[in-house]
């Protein structure tokens, strides 16, 4: 089996794939610890609870956008599984047969997203990733990453508002029916969530306009299902899209 590890700014996602599907996915907070032993203990427990054997894992691939965790998770993989993980990064982009924009600047998660889009559709694609940051990655039908746009993610926006105002509470991220708030919680939800619906629609429109050709629009990220009015904008919504990109890279 393949163990794909997507290390983001909020969570580390561990996906176990049996070559047919993702049979298990686990999340551990990215700020859980600064010691590889702690992540190992937590992952061992998750494997035990789900009747998985360490010996079931024969390949590990890692995408990491948190530099401090790169060596920690790499050490955990070697100690726990006895496997040297494949680390997604500029040193191995040549094997992707893609043209990577600013290879030492672009996040490896965005490269994984672009890889999935390119190898799956073979046409110009826009991947919208609703994570800690809201990102828009454009890849051409020839496998060239044309560019990326970045905005604060939904949780980041809510946290910023809550942290910098004295009387506004932190609110749950659920889509309100009305854009006109009738109480404080509703007002914040309306302003942020309906505001993000408008922003995403406008970004999709502008990107399609600039690309000037048919463009598949894909959505991923843990918050991709919250903005329900956007569903018609996407050709595919898949929370495992980044993991699928990792799986493709591991197979090349």
Q: Which residues are catalytic?
A: 109
Q: Closest by alpha carbon to 8, among 193, 153, 217, 175? A: 153
Distance CA 5, CA 22 (A): 12
- Do 96 and 117 contact (CB within 8 A), yes or no? no
Cα-based angle 235, 239, 243 (whole degrees, multiple of 5)? 110
Distance of CA 159 to the CA centre of its chain: 19
What backbone torsions phi and psi does residue 203 show, to the nearest 5 degrees? -65, -45
- What residue spans of the chain are helical by DSSP H? 36-49, 67-81, 108-121, 154-163, 184-189, 195-211, 241-251
């Amino acid at each position: 089996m393949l163990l794909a590890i997507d290390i983001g700014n909020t969570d580390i996602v561990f996906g176990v794939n049996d070559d047919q599907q993702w049979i298990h996915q686990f999340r551990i907070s990215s700020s859980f610890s600064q010691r590889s032993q702690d992540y190992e203990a937590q992952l061992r427990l998750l494997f035990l609870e789900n009747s998985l054997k360490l010996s079931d894992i024969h390949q590990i691939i890692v995408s990491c956008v948190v530099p401090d965790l790169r060596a920690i998770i790499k050490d955990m993989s070697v100690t726990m599984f006895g496997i040297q993980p494949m680390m997604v990064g500029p040193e191995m982009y040549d094997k992707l047969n893609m043209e990577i924009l600013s290879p030492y600047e672009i996040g490896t998660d965005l490269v994984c997203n672009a890889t999935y889009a390119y190898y799956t559709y073979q046409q110009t694609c826009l991947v919208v990733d609703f994570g800690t940051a809201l990102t828009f990655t454009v890849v051409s039908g020839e496998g060239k990453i044309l560019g990326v746009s970045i905005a604060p993610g939904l949780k980041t926006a809510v946290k910023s508002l809550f942290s910098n105002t004295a009387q506004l509470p932190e609110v749950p991220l659920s889509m309100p029916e009305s854009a006109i708030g009738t109480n404080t919680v509703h007002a914040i939800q309306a302003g942020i969530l309906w505001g993000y619906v408008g922003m995403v629609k406008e970004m999709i429109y502008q990107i399609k306009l600039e690309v000037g050709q048919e463009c598949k629009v894909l959505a991923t990220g843990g918050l991709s299902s919250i903005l329900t009015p956007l569903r018609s904008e996407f050709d595919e919504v898949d929370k495992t899209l980044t993991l699928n990109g990792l799986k493709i890279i591991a197979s090349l």
